[in-house]
């Protein structure tokens, strides 16, 4: 090794650059000594190290998430490295994200165009995009999201986009735009002191809201000020609310879809208010609602479809409203209804088909109406032929025009084919009974007479109605032939 150093070293002055032949570097031992010079022919000091390449100039958001209240300003800060020697202008675009779990904001939620530019000054390592958030006073989700994405810098700028190049603005509305008394109750139940604080998950955790006045509703546990009207969206985000009480608070009107977010609502109490009308389908979407009270308001009508879609409803209280007429289909679809109270109203009669489909009805109270007690006529009908005199056999049933509010038993007495007794059953919610077949005795010209001997009386939980048995029917009777004129003349 000393010989090798001696062979090379004399040609180089101290401190000068050496050029090491490739042949020498091929020798493993020699390369170990001369590693600093073993490259593709490069020269340099024996102790030199390669310099790191210069960093790529980048611009990115300093943080990927910022919050701003309605009426405030969202500030998105940019990090620039290294600082530019001359000013740089960078574009950005405002849009929405693809996350189905977030509520997207739109152009109505901020001031300006859906994009713009930001100027980065010479020597600056920070810059900011400021976006004014509108306060529209509309009730919207507690949190809405905007996306701001940086545009690719122009090549002349000499910068590339770093990470993150997209930032989210969370618009914080909380419950600030809701009816003041509703807002206070939500904050109290959720345990917050400021209307901006509740997040969507806080609203979704609320199970019970009670606003009432004890002077107007004795069952009230908590006093509330008068709430004459509600705002559309007052209950937005309360997707797991199970019980809502607004009793005796002086409500005079309901927005059309005010309850549409309450998919988990099971009990809704609107008793003792001043409601005179209900918007069409105001209860639409409340598929979990089991108990509804509209008692002691000023309702004069219940439009068709008022209770459409309430497939879980089992208790409906409408007492104390001056309703004078019910649409035939007002209770259609309420297959789980077991209790209906309509005491102290202005009803004079009951429409056909009112109880059809109410197969689980167990309690009915229609007392203190002008038409009380309401008669439910039970008629015998021939269902195989419209003509009672048509040849037999005949199929006979009992029909209740309004539908049977409870299970009925009709005892028949048949004369004309030998006296017999038959029983017809009418199931709850059905308009037609079981069927009895009556044979035809062709030798009997007077026909077969069928009479209702008895009809089940209303059970104790069914008040304000009474069954009324209809007239007998006569089947197969043949009219007597008209007298022959020639025969009559001969007899004279």
Among the three residues 172, 196, 224, which one is the final residue of a domain in this structure? 172
> Residue 247 falls within a domain, yes or no?
yes
**What is the domain count for the chain?**
4
Helix (H) or strand (E) segment spanning residue 32? helix 28-33
Residue 400 maps to which CATH number?
Answer: 2.60.40
Q: Are 273 and 252 in contact (CB under 8 A)?
A: yes
CA-based nearest residue to 265, from 248, 287, 233: 287
| Cis before 204 (ω within 30) | no
Q: Does residue 422 sit in the same domain as residue 329?
A: no
> Residue 233 falls within a domain, yes or no?
yes
CA-based nearest residue to 174, from 158, 193, 146, 160: 193
Model confidence pLDDT, tens digit, residues 195-239: 989 989 999 999 999 998 877 767 777 666 789 999 999 999 999
pLDDT at 99: 66
Q: Are 416 and 447 in contact (CB under 8 A)?
A: yes
The answer on pLDDT for 18 being more than 70 is: no
Min mean pLDDT across 310-314, 419-423, 426-430 is at 419-423
Q: Does residue 309 sit in the same domain as residue 439?
A: no
pLDDT at 310: 96
The pLDDT confidence band at residue 413, using thresholds 50, 70 and 90, is very high
> Residue 487 falls within a domain, yes or no?
no
> Residue 360 falls within a domain, yes or no?
no
pLDDT at 482: 58
What is the average per-residue pLDDT within 338-365? 97
DSSP string, 317-335: E-TT-------TTTTTT-T
Taking the mean position of all CA atoms in its chain, how far away is CA 317? 23
What is the average per-residue pLDDT within 164-177? 89
DSSP string, 389-430: TS-S-EEEEEEETT--SS-EEEEEEEESSS-EEEEEEE-TT-
- The rounded mean pLDDT for the chain is 85
Q: Does residue 21 sit in the same domain as residue 160?
A: no
Model confidence pLDDT, tens digit, residues 241-260: 999 999 999 999 999 889 99
Among the three residues 346, 362, 392, which one is the final residue of a domain in this structure? 346
The answer on pLDDT for 102 being more than 90 is: no
Q: Does residue 160 sit in the same domain as residue 225?
A: no
What is the average per-residue pLDDT within 294-321? 96
Question: What range does the domain containing 297 cover?
Answer: 179-346
Residue 103 maps to which CATH number?
Answer: 2.60.40.2030
The pLDDT confidence band at residue 98, using thresholds 50, 70 and 90, is low
What is the average per-residue pLDDT within 448-466? 93
pLDDT at 41: 46
Which tokens hold the place of 3?
A: 């010989």
CA-based nearest residue to 125, from 168, 161, 80, 92: 80
Q: Does residue 185 sit in the same domain as residue 161?
A: no
> Cα(303)–Cα(308) distance, rounded to whole angstroms?
11
Q: Does residue 319 sit in the same domain as residue 191?
A: yes
Q: Does residue 289 sit in the same domain as residue 404?
A: no
pLDDT at 70: 82
> Residue 409 falls within a domain, yes or no?
yes
> Cα(139)–Cα(69) distance, rounded to whole angstroms?
13
Report strand pairing: 166-172 vs 374-382: unpaired
CA-based nearest residue to 237, from 275, 200, 263: 200
Q: Does residue 197 sit in the same domain as residue 159?
A: no
Query: Could you write out the three-class secondary structure of 100-115?
Result: CCCCECCHHHECCCCE
Q: Does residue 410 sit in the same domain as residue 280?
A: no
> Residue 354 falls within a domain, yes or no?
no
Q: Of how many residues is the chain composed?
A: 492
Kindly give the residue spans of alpha helices, DSSP state H, lying in 174-263. 180-190, 200-204
What is the average per-residue pLDDT within 61-67? 91
Model confidence pLDDT, tens digit, residues 469-482: 999 999 998 776 65
Mean pLDDT is highest, among 68-72, 411-415, 438-442, for 411-415
CA-based nearest residue to 81, from 117, 123, 51, 52: 123
pLDDT at 161: 94
Q: Are 338 and 362 in contact (CB under 8 A)?
A: yes
Q: Does residue 141 sit in the same domain as residue 195?
A: no
Q: Are 152 and 97 in contact (CB under 8 A)?
A: no
> Residue 421 falls within a domain, yes or no?
yes
Over pLDDT 90: what percentage of the chain? 63
Give this prediction's pTM. Answer: 0.74
The pLDDT confidence band at residue 54, using thresholds 50, 70 and 90, is low
The answer on pLDDT for 6 being more than 70 is: no
Among the three residues 126, 145, 172, which one is the final residue of a domain in this structure? 172
> Residue 481 falls within a domain, yes or no?
no
Residue 281 maps to which CATH number?
Answer: 3.80.10.10
3-state percent breakdown (helix, strand, coil) of the chain, nearest 5:
10, 30, 60
Q: Does residue 201 sit in the same domain as residue 158?
A: no
Which one is predicted more confidently, 275 or 10? 275
Q: Does residue 309 sit in the same domain as residue 382?
A: no
């Amino acid at each position: 090794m000393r010989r090798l150093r001696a062979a090379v070293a004399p040609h180089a002055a101290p401190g000068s650059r050496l050029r090491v032949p490739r042949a020498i570097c091929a020798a493993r031992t020699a390369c170990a000594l001369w590693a600093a010079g073993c490259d593709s022919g490069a020269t340099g000091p024996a102790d030199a190290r390669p310099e790191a390449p210069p960093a790529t100039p980048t611009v990115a958001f300093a943080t990927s998430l910022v919050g701003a209240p309605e009426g405030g300003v969202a500030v998105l800060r940019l990090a620039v490295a290294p600082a530019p020697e001359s000013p740089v202008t960078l574009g950005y675009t405002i849009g929405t994200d693809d996350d189905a779990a977030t509520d997207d904001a739109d152009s109505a939620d901020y001031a300006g165009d859906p994009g713009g530019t930001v100027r980065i000054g010479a020597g600056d390592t920070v810059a900011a995009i400021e976006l004014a958030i509108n306060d529209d006073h509309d009730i919207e989700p507690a949190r809405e999201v905007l996306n701001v994405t940086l545009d690719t810098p122009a090549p002349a700028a000499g910068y590339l986009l770093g990470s993150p190049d997209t930032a989210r603005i969370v618009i914080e509305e909380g419950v600030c735009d809701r009816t003041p008394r509703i807002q206070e109750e939500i904050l109290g139940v959720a345990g917050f002191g400021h209307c901006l604080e509740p997040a969507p998950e806080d609203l979704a955790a609320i199970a019970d809201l009670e606003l009432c006045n004890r002077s107007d509703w004795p069952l009230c546990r908590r006093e509330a000020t008068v709430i004459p009207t509600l705002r559309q969206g007052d209950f937005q985000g309360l997707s797991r609310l199970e019980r809502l009480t607004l009793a005796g608070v002086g409500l005079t009107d309901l927005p059309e879809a005010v309850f549409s977010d309450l998919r988990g609502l099971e009990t809704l109490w609107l008793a003792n208010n001043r409601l005179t009308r209900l918007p069409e389908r105001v209860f639409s979407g409340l598929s979990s609602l089991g108990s509804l009270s509209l008692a002691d308001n000023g309702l004069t009508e219940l439009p068709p479809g008022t209770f459409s879609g309430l497939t879980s409803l089992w208790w409906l209280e409408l007492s104390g409203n001056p309703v004078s007429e019910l649409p035939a289909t007002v209770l259609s679809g309420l297959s789980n209804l077991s209790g209906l109270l309509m005491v102290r109203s202005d009803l004079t009669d009951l429409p056909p088909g009112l109880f059809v489909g109410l197969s689980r009805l167990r309690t009915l109270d229609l007392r203190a109406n002008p038409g009380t007690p309401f008669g439910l006529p039970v008629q015998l009908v021939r269902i195989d032929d419209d003509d009672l005199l048509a040849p037999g056999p005949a199929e006979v049933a009992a029909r209740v025009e309004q539908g049977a509010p409870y299970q009925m038993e009709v005892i028949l007495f048949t004369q004309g084919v030998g006296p017999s007794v038959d029983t017809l059953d009418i199931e709850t919610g059905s308009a037609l009974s079981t069927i009895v077949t009556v044979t035809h005795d062709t030798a009997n010209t007077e026909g077969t007479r069928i009479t209702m001997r008895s009809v089940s009386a209303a059970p104790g939980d069914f008040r304000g109605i009474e069954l009324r048995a209809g007239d007998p029917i006569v089947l197969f009777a043949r009219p007597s032939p008209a007298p022959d004129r020639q025969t009559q003349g001969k007899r004279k």
